[in-house]
Structure 1
């Protein structure tokens, strides 16, 4: 098949999809606002400028022109508010759009215009693909989508990479980061972005934790976030006087590198206000980290408070500190949580199985023929 994706080439999630289909022998095109080196595909960069109305319109026409030039068998956009709209505007079918969570949960509430853009994109799609069960209900209730055009396909994780092990690599990383062998490690893997990972609230919990357990180390990953926000966080750390207990990782980490960090971590944090079931949670728990997460419904798909995770109010640093302290003082829960979580993820979130489901869906749409609207 000739498959055209519309998404951000720098995104690790987009890269996973395009690489997988390219490795399967498909002709893969990716229309992206920014450049990234991805082997085996044809990248079409649109050089997106700062999003203003005129640039937004120009981008839409650029994408439409490229799509009709490529003439793929399948058009698939990732993230509804921008890429989904551009692909929908191309008026090309079969057209699928993957919702990512924040696009429909958060951005739809930011303005009337954004909600209408999202509604237009979803209605133009032949198939809408969420990853979480709760998103299916949300899409039908909030956007009046018919149930038969929603196909839930969890993306899943690569269990050949994310698993327990990496002992030598963990030992080497501990030395590099100057973390003693007996120190507990708490990882915040969601990226340093304001109003997303709530890292500023995690910061406020740290003094409460180290007052009781001074050897605890907190690691923050920048991911795709800005260097300026990382600098703000570093200033906050210095102001709180907790520099020796915090490590900032500015470099972008590959999946194998992430697996080493998860294996080194005793606890992992995921504290957004809205989400789908995050990859970072899945990756962390199969590597043995104890998940402490926001008390939001989407996580309850797999996680039960006190059984295989702990829920907290993301606005309450005191509650977060108490849960971290509890984990440190009850280390036996790490093994019991791991056994439950490993089984859940292996049965429901296997990357290899779920990518093949997507491929079969593409084949079904191609066989049915192009839809004209």
Structure 2
């Protein structure tokens, strides 16, 4: 089978899909508007990459000018002619989705990612029409979560396939790792981009409350990630007089993320919006109890009161109360952590998720040949 992927080559999500499909002996041509900066693809003889030369930090998905975008249509048509794919699969419903819709190739599969469905259609009536057009042209539509599928169904009546973006359970597991903290410390942590979308400020405020209520405990907060809000968040910690107990780790390589999660006792994500919640699955796979806000796809990846707790968004007081329950009950942390890994094994094993998508490919390809 030959699949033409339309997606940002530098996205970790794109890389995982492309390389996993290539490992299953599927021929992949990856058409990326952004200049490829990842050497990982070179390990695979059955992956071809064609990029448009945009610098990876010069534009975000969906923000490339649509006029500029359409200029790449002739190049895409040439790639289709030469590669002769069985399926064109666009990841992200605006930029790559528009290219896929305009190229006219059938069968055409479209994966929605998040902001392309939650934010883009709300910009204007024209943006809404564009999303409807792209979805209309798709033969199949994929979503990583049920809640995002419901959002997508505001713009199409087509069936949405749920294809979770799972994890490698051999990499994300409970391991012993060197920690920055003493053995007596209880570490609350998160791995997120430092932007307002992810509610890190609410986590910091909740941590302050927990610290004040439990002065005898050695409590630490570890924040892994970089972003435009870092200075503001550091200043918030300083104003709350907790900076000495907060570790801003910065951005770490993907292969190191399991090490940092394993330094945590409790994983917290108090996002203001989130389409799925891969980081929560990663934490659960490492046997960490999780506390998440009740937004987007986050409640979907947590069994409330079993693998963690779902709390009201933008409510640091409730988050603090819930975190405190886990801080004061080590056996609860262990029980929830183990239950979390079992749930991930059942629902979010990456190999199973890849099999699911390949099954969709096979069915679509068969239908195409019979039509």
Structure 1, unmatched stretches of 5+, are none
Higher helix share: 1
Offset of residue 371 of structure 1: 11
| 1:44 lines up with 2:45 in the alignment | no
Match of 1:180, SS state, is coil
Q: What do the CA deviations read for 1:238-271 (whole angstroms, capped 9, x no partner)?
A: 33332211112223322x4111222221111222
Tell me the distance in 2 between the aligned counterparts of 1:34 and 1:80.
20
| Alignment-derived partner of residue 294 in structure 1 | 293
Distance verdict in 2 for CA 1:104–1:207, change over 3 Å = same
- Deviation for aligned residue 1:85: 2.0
**How far did residue 15 of structure 1 move?**
0.9
Specify the alignment match of 1:274 in structure 2. 273
CA shift at 1:64, angstroms?
5.0
Q: Give the alignment partner of residue 117 of structure 2, picking from 104, 108, 123.
A: 104
How far off is 1:283 after superposition? 1.0
| CA apart distance, 1:303 | 2.8
Change (3 A) 1:85 1:219: farther
Match in the other structure for 2:22: 22
Decide whether the 8 Å contact of 2:237 with 2:243 is kept in 1. yes
Deviation at 1:61, TM superposition (A): 2.9
Question: Once structures 1 and 2 are overlaid, which stretch shifts more, 180-189 or 51-60?
Answer: 51-60
Deviation of 1:106 after TM superposition, in Å, equals 3.3
> Which residue number in structure 1 is paired with residue 31 of structure 2?
31
Which whole-Å CA distance do the structure 1 matches of 2:77 and 2:135 have between them?
18
Q: Are the aligned partners of 1:129 and 1:151 in contact in 2 as well (CA < 8 Å)?
A: yes
Pair 1:218 & 2:221 matched:
yes
CA 1:18–1:247: 2 relative to 1, 3 Å: same
Superposed CA offset, 1:302-338 (max 9, x none) = 5343333212222112222222222111222112212
Secondary structure of 1:151 counterpart: strand
Structure 2 matches for 1:1-373, cutoff 5 A? 1-32=1-32, 33-37=34-38, 38-39=40-41, 40=44, 41-48=47-54, 50=59, 55-63=65-73, 65-70=75-80, 71-140=84-153, 142-147=154-159, 150-164=160-174, 166-167=175-176, 170=177, 172=178, 174=179, 177=180, 179-194=181-196, 196-213=197-214, 215-222=218-225, 226=227, 228-254=228-254, 256-296=255-295, 298-369=297-368
Say whether the 8 Å CA contact 1:98–1:128 is kept in structure 2. yes
Distance change in 2, residues 1:330/1:107 (3 Å): farther
SS at match of 1:13: helix
Per-residue deviation, residues 182-241 of structure 1 (Å, max 9, x unmatched)? 2111122122122x211122222232122234522212222xx54x43233223333333
Tell me, in whole angstroms, the C-alpha distance in 2 between the residues paired with 1:297 and 1:192. Answer: 18
2:93 and 2:112 in contact (8 A); partners too: yes
Give the whole-Å Cα distance in 1 for the aligned partners of 2:64 and 2:35: 18
- TM-score, length-scaled by structure 1: 0.86
Aligned-partner Cα distance in 2 for 1:118–1:92: 18
Unaligned ranges ≥5, structure 2: none
